[in-house]
Each structure stands twice: as C-alpha cells, then as structure tokens.
Amino acid sequence: MRIDKFLKVSRVIKRRTIANEVTDNGRVKVNGSVVKASYNVKVGDIVEIAFGDKISKFEIIRIPEVQGKNIDELIKIL
C-alpha cells in the first residue's frame, strides 16, 4: 500500500490529497529516509511526519485490507 493511502486509511492524516502533498513536500520519512507518496509501506517501517515544529513517529504493525480499521490496530506510537 502506498504511504499516502496508508496515512489516510489509518487516519493519521484526514485526506489523501493532504497526505500526498505532505509526502511530496519532504515532510515524511520512513526508516530515516525522506519518501514520496508512491513509497510502498511494509510492516515494521518506522514513519516520521513533521507537522510544523512537532514530529509524530510511529511503527507500522499491520497493513489494512479495508478502510475504517481502528488506528490502534495499525500503528504503534513511538
């Protein structure tokens, strides 16, 4: 699953267009490297998102098959 879609489905970011913009502006890192919206996430990836001065960091523990899963079932906040 693409990182922009994962961020939307897991409800980390509300809309996919915003997730796409955030990633393409270099504000998302996976395992320490800046990624684009097309990056395919894997279980175990560590994601960091810069929201202004604040950085959110979490580990992907499961890739959802359908939309609407509880965020606690998909990521582990670090």
CATH number at residue 17: 3.10.290.10
Task: Give residue 67's pLDDT.
Answer: 56
List the one residue out of 57, 5, 9 whose CA is nearest residue 32: 57
Q: What is the pTM of this model?
A: 0.80
Q: Whole-angstrom Cα distance, residue 25 to residue 27? A: 6
Report the domain count for the chain: 1
Task: Give residue 52's pLDDT.
Answer: 87
Q: Whole-angstrom Cα distance, residue 70 to residue 50? A: 22
Range of the domain at 66: 3-77
pLDDT tens-digit readout, 10-66: 889 999 999 999 999 999 999 999 999 999 999 999 999 998 899 999 999 988 775
